[in-house]
Structure 1
Amino acid sequence: MTVIARFVQRSPTIMIYWIHMRSAIEQPLTLLHVVVHSSFVKSRFAKTTVHKAAMSNNMEECQRLLDCGAHVNPVDHYGWTPLHEACNHGHYEIGELLIQRGADINRKSKSGTTPLMDAVNNNHVNVIQLLLEKGANVYANDQQALLCISLTTEQEVPEDTKISR
């Protein structure tokens, strides 16, 4: 992060002034551009606006952010992407959108969990089916050496969704 970015991060007033000055000097910037592209517009745990839209199942906002060029695979403090959040909360449509826009379906968090593991751990059957249809790796290990394939066969999941060993 540049010195200017660190300085701007400390005050919303300074950020607005910086946007105004940069717009006059370089190219016009809107607040939406800053929210979408800025590395310093994150929450305490480094969740971006796309993370938050995915968590809250806000399809319209998620689509708008991605249409404006927001990154589809930003990682938070724990290494989670917006797809991890969507799968963890069972948000099928958001997950589908993120995958269509290029989300890494097998991205591991810092603890080694994948979006599929998040969906399995929370018994979100429709999201599990989506991820499997899109080619999620069922053999990806997390740090506790849990296999997705084990989780999908041990959880209470309808028979037609289970993966046989």
Structure 2
Amino acid sequence: MNWGKCKPYLYMDESIPVIVLGPNFLQFLWAYIAYAIYGFILLILLFSREFGFYRLSLSVVSYASTLTNYFLAAFMNQGVSNYNYQYYQQPTKYCEICDQRQQKYTEHCDSCGVCIEGHDHHCPWIGKCVGRHNKRYFYVFIFSLFVFQISSILIFANIL
């Protein structure tokens, strides 16, 4: 099987991996550690003051959601389309680089070196592409990151 620059681990069956590490995995790891430390320091600063339970719980829940969904987006199979389907719908395109048929909404990613179903973009911060299987985790990560940052700013400014 051609996985390009991605490395599959922990197979559900012999052809579909559950965990796939992308070519920029070390960049994801450094970003994850840096954000975890940054968020932890920010939470310590928030807990050192008397802001109240409800204000702080919003930050804690959004921080936990951010870290969890960031982790899931980086480790989930992003939708690499070169495993064998039990059901194969009519192909609409052919990838000459991968030398395989492509499903609808499948694009080749030059950074990963494989075709990705539901390809959104290649995100170096999660270390691979955002595709069909990890797209929802990526969008929840972005939303919870926004909520965490805004709630922290509003708490420090004593607006919330």
TM-score > 0.5, shorter chain as reference: no
Higher helix share: 1
Which structure's relative contact order is higher, taking Cα pairs within 8 Å and 6+ residues apart? 2
TM normalised by structure 1 equals 0.24
TM normalised by structure 2 equals 0.24
Higher strand share: 2
